[in-house]
Amino acid sequence: MKKIYLPLASILCAALISGCSSTKHEPAELVNFTPAINVTEEWSVSMPDAEGFLVPGVYDDIVFVAGGKELSKVNARTGNREWTVSFDSPVVGGVGTDGYNTAVGLENGELVVVNSEGKIDWLKSMTTELAGPPVITNGLVIVRTKDVKITAFEASSGDQQWVFQRNQPALTLRAPVSMVTRDNLLFAGQPNGNVVIIDVKTGRPVFEFPVAQARGITEVERLIDVVGAPVLSEDMLCAAAYQGAVTCINAMNGQMRWTQNVDAVTGPAIDDDNVYVVDATGIVRAYYRESGELRWENKTMTYRGVSAPVVMPGTVAVGDNEGYVHLLSPRTGEEIGRTRLNGAIVTAAPTFGAGAIFQTKDGEVAYLATR
C-alpha cells in the first residue's frame, strides 16, 4: 500500500478550518506588556534558507547548523564559524552530532556523515528522506526515515547494524519529529500514537506505551502521530500526540503518571514545576508536573504558528511564523519578554548555556540568552 504523508498545514486546514478557501483564521495581534525579563542576542549567523524542519545540533561548546546545501560548525560561545561543507542536495533531515561525527539527511534521500574536520566520511542512500535529526550514540548513527523505519549504522564505517519498523498507517502527518536517547535506550514516537523504547545495541523494543488513542471515522480524523520529541526529565518521560493528548509516565517502571487531552502539534517541554505543550491553534498550556492539572493557558498567540516550547532561565519561550520569540512566565503564562529574528520559527530550539539556539526558515541561527 502506498503511504501518504500530509503536511501539517494541510492537516490543520482539513481538521480545523473545514474549508480553508472560504474560512481563514487571522493570526492574533501582538499583545502589549511590560517586559519583566531581558533577552539578549549573543550572536547570530546566516545560513541559506532552511528546507524541512531543521534543528541545530549542539554538543558541548559547538553547534552544527545546516541550511540549503551547507553544514557549518560554529563556536556556540562566540558564534565564530570554524568550517563549512557543501553537499549536492539540500539538507532536510536536521543535524545530529556527538562532537566527532555529525550526520545530516539530504533531500535526495542520502544520509551523510561528516568528521570533526568537515570531511565527508561516508554516505548511504535511504529508502526515503529522513523524518528528523539523526541521533549519534554508543558508536552508532541512528536515523528515522519518513516510512517510519529506524535504522542504525556503525558511526565509523557506515555498516548497517539493525532496523526497526512497525506497521505504518496509510496516512501520516508530516510534522517535526525527533528521537532522544538515555544510556542505552532510544525513545521514538510512532504514528500509531505510541512511544517505543528501543535497546540501542540490538534494535529490539523493550517497552512501548500509548500517548493517545485514535478517535473518529475518517483517516484524517484518526491521525494520532506522536509529534516533536519525547522529553525526559529525571524519572519522568512525556510525549504529545496530534489530535490526542500529552501523557507522562514514570521512566523507571513505565507506570502512568497522568494524561491530558490536547491537540498537540509540537513535543512538550519540562522544568522543575511544569510540563508545557502547544496545541494546533497556538494555545500554550502549562500543566503541573506532578499532578497533571492545568496551571495556566496563554491564548494570546492563536494562529501565529507557534513552535515547540523551550525552557530558558526564568522563562519558557516559543517562536512564531513572523520570527517573534515570546518569553512567558512559568508561573502565570503571561508574556514577559519578546524579541524578533528574521524568518519563521517552526522547529524546537535546543538549549545551550543561559538560553537556546533558534533557527528560522530564512536561515538565521541565533543564540538568545536570558542573563
Q: Give the DSSP letter string of 234-267.
A: TTEEEEEETTEEEEEEETTT--EEEEEEE-BSS-
pLDDT above 70: residue 82: yes
Cβ-based burial of 88 (10 A; exposed 0-12, middle 13-18, buried ≥19): exposed
| CATH H-level, domain 4-369: superfamily | YVTN repeat-like/Quinoprotein amine dehydrogenase (2.130.10.10)
Position 267 scores a pLDDT of 95
pLDDT tens figures, 123-154: 999 999 999 999 999 999 999 999 889 999 99
Cell numbers given for 274? 511544569
pLDDT tens figures, 331-366: 999 999 999 999 999 999 999 999 999 999 999 999
- Say which residue, 274 or 218, is predicted with more confidence: 274
Q: DSSP readout, 98-152?
A: -SS-EEEEETTSEEEEE-TTS-EEEEEE-SS-BSS--EEETTEEEEEBTTSEEEE
Kindly state the percentage of the chain with pLDDT values over 90.
81
Write down the mean pLDDT value for the chain. Answer: 91
Give backbone dihedrals phi and psi of 336, rounded to 5 degrees, phi first: -120, -5
Residue (of 324, 240, 337, 348) closest to 285 by Cα position: 240
The answer to whether 140 touches 153, Cβ cutoff 8 Å, is yes
Position 224 scores a pLDDT of 84
Report CA Rg, the chain: 19
Residue 8 DSSP label:
H
Position 365 scores a pLDDT of 97
Grid cell 506532578 — which residue?
A: 290
- Kindly indicate the confidence band of residue 170, based on its pLDDT and cuts at 50, 70 and 90: low
Give backbone dihedrals phi and psi of 16, rounded to 5 degrees, phi first: -105, -35
Position 9 scores a pLDDT of 46
The pTM of this model reads 0.91
Position 177 scores a pLDDT of 86
Angle ∠(281,284,289) on CA atoms, nearest 5 = 140
Q: Average of pLDDT values for 246-263?
A: 93
- Kindly indicate the confidence band of residue 175, based on its pLDDT and cuts at 50, 70 and 90: confident
